[in-house]
Structure 1
Amino acid sequence: MARRTPLAARASLAILPDPEPAAETVRLAEALIFASPRPLAAADLAARLPPGHEVEAVLAELRRLYRGRGITLARVAGGYAFRTAPDLAGLLRGDAPEPRKLSRAAIETLAIIAYHQPATRAEIEEIRGVSTSKGSLDLLLETGWVRLRGRRRTPGRPVTYGTTPAFLEQFGLDSVGDLPGLDELKGLGLIEGRLPAGFGVPVPSDDPGLRPDEDPLADGLPDPDIA
């Protein structure tokens, strides 16, 4: 006679997540990610899937289904989105609208903000060694890659700048911590020659919370950076 599973054991088995997500659940996840205007966070995806499914298993199945195809599931800006397969991206550039080109000053300013955020205009100028035009900062704000964070608790209460999720999406980064470090920059040929003693590349962070030396923007005080 076959042994019957104790009731308690059967109850515990009933609540275990399905290790192989159902096809309809995978289809639903596919549709949700496709329809989302921004990369969809795993937590947001899990909240909209039927109970009893592990979101990581669903995402793994989607990656498997799209492996080797023209589009792929990518982790970008802390969420998930469908992107053109990397090996095909170059073939499609001719069909895409010409992106607005940044000046060298704007590119340098963007790089400094990305690595040193939160950064004020004066701090950006100190690192660059030259003055930074208001136009460069305005352009970066217009692209949506840079945002106003707060005000530094120093005389004049200057505005601090940081990057946005749109910056991560534009450059295909999951987080700002994925920016290349010193060794990677050397390997790309972006840093050459002998470096000064103690030279290093900071570990970037785009934590949205204000730092202890920052105050909220909404204080009604004028600021020369955004006047």
Structure 2
Amino acid sequence: MNAPPDDLVRAVEATLFAATEPLTAAAISAHLGGAVVEPALAALAEHYAGRGIELVVRGERWHFQTAPDLAHLLRRDREEVRRLSRAATEVLAIVAYHEPVSRAEIESIRGVQTARGTLDVLLEAGWVRAVGRREVPGRPVIYATTPAFLSHFGLQSRRDLPGIDELRAAGLLDPVDVALLAALETGPDGTATGNTQENALD
């Protein structure tokens, strides 16, 4: 933005700066009396591109974040996040590619029982949340990923999740990753889903 920003752009910038959590365009608009804020958001995103902080959208929610290449400068005083266990990683992958999904469906895909603490870790991390109950006998709780999951992994939406070919090309799959392959290629009923990413996101 070469010219001074107009009042709406400044108001949107101030709203996002003061927000305690990412905001949708609709929420920003409501805060600003119903103003059309999409052009202002686009202008701000362009203005902050390449700077020390950037304006990004994750799961249709906007927020400022540290530029990825500078994030290491701010990690000195942060508590080191414990790495997820193999089981938690598998469960997270299943939820991401098949959401909404119940515990029984997760266990069907993994082929093993899921310890209660495994889901608790993902819930406490804020990457998975309960989104309702399946309308079947017993009405089991169903789980889905959160905007925090998208933000942590740098995804704008679940459509940005990599497919199996991309994971293989990146060397992230090996012959023993049976559970992860099952999560990507098999539905909760045990049937093949073909292109998992398209099926899961349609």
TM-score, normalising length: structure 2: 0.76
**SS across alignment from 1:94:** coil
Q: What does residue 105 of structure 1 align with? A: 87
Indicate the percent of aligned positions where both proteins have the same amino acid: 55
Note the C-alpha offset of 1:33: 0.7
**Structure 1: gaps spanning 5 or more residues:** 1-19, 208-227
Which residue, 37, 42, 65 being the options, matches 1:60? 42
- Quote the Cα distance in structure 1 between the aligned partners of 2:142 and 2:57: 28
Query: Which residue identity is paired with 2:126?
Result: G
- Whether the 8 Å contact between 2:159 and 2:197 is mirrored in structure 1 is no
Q: What does residue 28 of structure 1 align with? A: 11
The structure that is helix-richer by fraction is 2
RMSD: 2.9
- Quote the Cα distance in structure 2 between the aligned partners of 1:141 and 1:91: 28
Which residue, 61, 76, 84 being the options, matches 1:94? 76
**SS across alignment from 1:161:** strand
**SS across alignment from 1:37:** coil
- Quote the Cα distance in structure 2 between the aligned partners of 1:158 and 1:44: 32
Note the C-alpha offset of 1:145: 1.9
- Quote the Cα distance in structure 2 between the aligned partners of 1:198 and 1:175: 21
Query: Which residue identity is paired with 2:196?
Result: V
- Whether the 8 Å contact between 1:168 and 1:175 is mirrored in structure 2 is yes
- Whether the 8 Å contact between 2:161 and 2:197 is mirrored in structure 1 is no
Note the C-alpha offset of 1:158: 2.6
Deviation sequence 1:92-149 (CA, Å, 0-9, x none) = 3334322243211111111101111122222212211222111101222222222223
1:40 aligns with 2:23: yes
Count how many residue pairs are aligned between Structure 1 and Structure 2: 185
Q: What does residue 105 of structure 2 align with? A: 123
Deviation sequence 1:169-221 (CA, Å, 0-9, x none) = 3323222222112332223222356x99975424334x9xxxxxxxxxxxxxx
